Structure 1
């Protein structure tokens, strides 16, 4: 494969590296209040556009069928809102004897309590070619559950007083996730024939929008000057976050392929991304509310700030190999079904005799 072809294939991963580098060079352009105005362009337009784009590109019958994949939805929500918090709680029990800053460990627990994200898991699932309808459904469902479940989890694991304005967050999610998705589906009914003829590059458009979100996220991270930590704690928490994500992805990949679950290869893809990703979009506002007035709020936020771009970076790296596996697994499944069908057809005459 030539260099140009390789660049075309891995453009999204290269784009991630590029926008992070640009955020490091000049973070003031994409910070809150900066020229890019991410508090409006990203918070409202970018996320809304991603779900409008998904609603426009997704066949209504596919989204409808996703509603009935109860086992898949139950697995994802239980894994991300029950299993992960408990796993991280056990991990922190061991890490509390290490020299790592205890406020960073609290921040790690906060990560475990967060709901799935509203954009990255959907786009990565779409980039691989997995069950996008299930990814959209679970991103929306997880976000709404997170409004109620996350404060309870924070109270349970951290003992922090929580007074989250549910109506405000619920309204924001409705306007940025549900409404754009419905509008996209409605518009699709009127332009369905044109969409099938022209086949717009929905995946590329969504990926470019996600690059904008990544850029502004890193601008805020690099511009934070009130964060004071020893290098050991910071490097350690980055390594722990990376290790957690790799272990969760591997666990899901190997466990959910078991025939006992009955998940298809495309289901496994949506499981990997939706069940392991955590929301920065919902997380940071919740942190500012739940930990309002805390002197160490910025330190508590670090693990989530690390987790969010790490999950996207890992996802970008995994897109190509996971797509290759999924296509191969689907091919094997089709061949197996074909052989089974042929065997049954050949056995039929003998049975009749």
Structure 2
């Protein structure tokens, strides 16, 4: 009897253990399924911070790439709001602090940043120099003259000083400061751009006044009695030598003596950024002069629209022409001659040709206007400067 009871109790205990083990399995299964569900649902909660990080990184990349254009808009706005600060003979005496100081900084740093060997090799690129100077001094000025004659023939009813301003703007040499900066930013040959900036402005001392003498014979553009004088070549040469050539030579000499140290400083101090800031200072000062002289108030809305339209067209045409001549496309269905392949320039040289061939200088153009129209009022000089100022902003 007792053995039967013991056996019964043992059987009940075994059934209880089996039941417990069966009861536990659903709990473990639910825990496991719950953890799997949590693992699957966790990534759904993270898109917001990831999206914001992507937007922030993209914004930083865009700012680093286009901060100069943003800065250009800011300095133009500041010049419009406070022209007396940056105008010549204004609060900071910008005719010295900016128009001399900024140009000297740009060309000193350009000389420091270029290897002497590369600069010497650039002198031998005669084809590149020929293309740049022919487009800059011949094609663009005479195209502008044709456009002006067309406006006169169709009776466009624009201010005569706008026509004169166009001819002065397109007769100036390539810009002395932005060429090397913008070419470097575009991954081009800044050595070629720098050499052409110096070469073009030395030639421009004589060619620009000569072109204005040729166009000045057109009595429709320049009626008799216009107040003009002979340019002071010696004074212009001194100005160019002091602000462009001397800093460039000094920078190259220092680079030759201390190549490793200068290379380290160029990377550490970001010479290219300093160059861009100096260029923004120049644009700010030039625009302050234009606003302070009330140049915008002396022209109609039709004049302003025409200036913008022609300036944009001339610059884009100049850029397209430079690229076309430098790369010289050839139809695929025809056999490409060997001379076409030999003529084509590299991408780096093409960037230098485009920036140098299509741009026009304010730092040489404004003094040229002041010399040629020294007998006129400051307001008239401002109106004559406006096409060049707007061209500079567009480029």
Pair in the same fold by TM > 0.5: yes
Counterpart for residue 217 of structure 1: 286
Point out the structure with max Rg over C-alpha: 2
How many angstroms apart in 1 are the aligned matches of 2:156 and 2:357?
28
CA contact (8 A) 1:77 1:275 kept: yes
Using the TM superposition, give the Cα deviation of residue 138 of structure 1 relative to its aligned residue in structure 2, in angstroms: 0.8
Per the alignment, residue 182 of structure 1 pairs with 249
Q: Which residue of 2 aligns with 1:14?
A: 70
Distance 1:114 1:190 in 2: 35
Contact 2:135 2:318 in 1 (8 A): no
Match of residue 163 from structure 2: 105
**Worse-superposed segment, 213-222 or 292-301:** 292-301
* 1:1-353 matches, cutoff 5 A: 2-96=58-152, 97-159=155-217, 162-198=229-265, 199-200=267-268, 201-225=270-294, 227-258=297-328, 259=341, 261-294=343-376, 296-311=380-395
Distance 1:213 1:109 in 2: 23
3-state SS of the aligned residue for 1:2? Answer: helix
Deviation at 1:205, TM superposition (A): 1.1
Kindly indicate whether the alpha-carbon contact (under 8 Å) linking 2:229 and 2:374 is maintained by their aligned counterparts in 1.
no
Contact 1:106/1:158 (CA < 8 Å) preserved in 2?
no
Q: Check 1:107–1:283 CA distance in 2 against 1; reply closer, same or farther (3 A cut).
A: same
Secondary structure class of the residue paired with 2:173: coil
* CA 197–144 in structure 1, closer or farther in 2 if over 3 Å, else same: closer
Cα shift at 1:120: 1.2
Contact 2:80 2:288 in 1 (8 A): yes
Structure 1 residues 197, 280: closer, same or farther in 2, change over 3 A? closer
Unaligned runs of 5+ in 2: 1-56, 223-227, 329-340
Distance in 2 separating the partners of 1:171 and 1:255: 34
TM-score of the superposed pair, with normalisation by structure 2: 0.75
In the TM superposition, residue 197 of structure 1 has moved relative to its aligned partner by 4.0
Deviates more, 1:236-245 or 1:59-68: 236-245
**Contiguous gaps of at least 5 residues in structure 1:** 312-353
1:252-300 deviations in Å (ceiling 9; x for gaps): 2233112452211111101111111111111111111112224643322
| Partner Cα distance (1:141, 1:189) in 2 | 22
Displacement of 1:90 after TM fit? 1.1
For these two proteins, the number of residue pairs brought into alignment is 311
Structure 1 runs of 4+ aligned residues shifted over 4 Å read none
Deviation at 1:185, TM superposition (A): 0.9
What residue is the counterpart of 1:326 in the other structure? none
Return the offset for 1:152: 0.8
Q: Please say if residues 125 and 131 of structure 1, whose CA atoms lie closer than 8 Å, have aligned partners that are also in contact.
A: yes
Cα distance in 2 for residues equivalent to 1:300 and 1:217: 13
Equivalent-residue separation in structure 2 for 1:210 and 1:196 (angstroms) = 22
SS in 2 for 1:43: coil
Whether the aligned pair in 2 keeps the contact of 1:151 and 1:162 (CA below 8 Å) is no
Quote the Cα distance in structure 1 between the aligned partners of 2:348 and 2:372: 37
Name the counterpart of 1:315: none
Take 1:292 and 1:30, find their aligned partners in 2: how far apart are those partners?
22
Deviation at 1:183, TM superposition (A): 0.5
| 1-structure distance, mates of 2:148, 2:83 | 32
Q: TM-score, normalised by structure 1?
A: 0.84
> What's the offset of the Cα at 1:98?
1.0
C-alpha deviations, 1:109-154, integer Å up to 9, x for none?
A: 1112111111011211111121111111111111111111111100
**Structure 1 stretch displaced more, 78-87 or 159-168:** 159-168
Distance in 2, Cα, partners of 1:297 & 1:194:
46
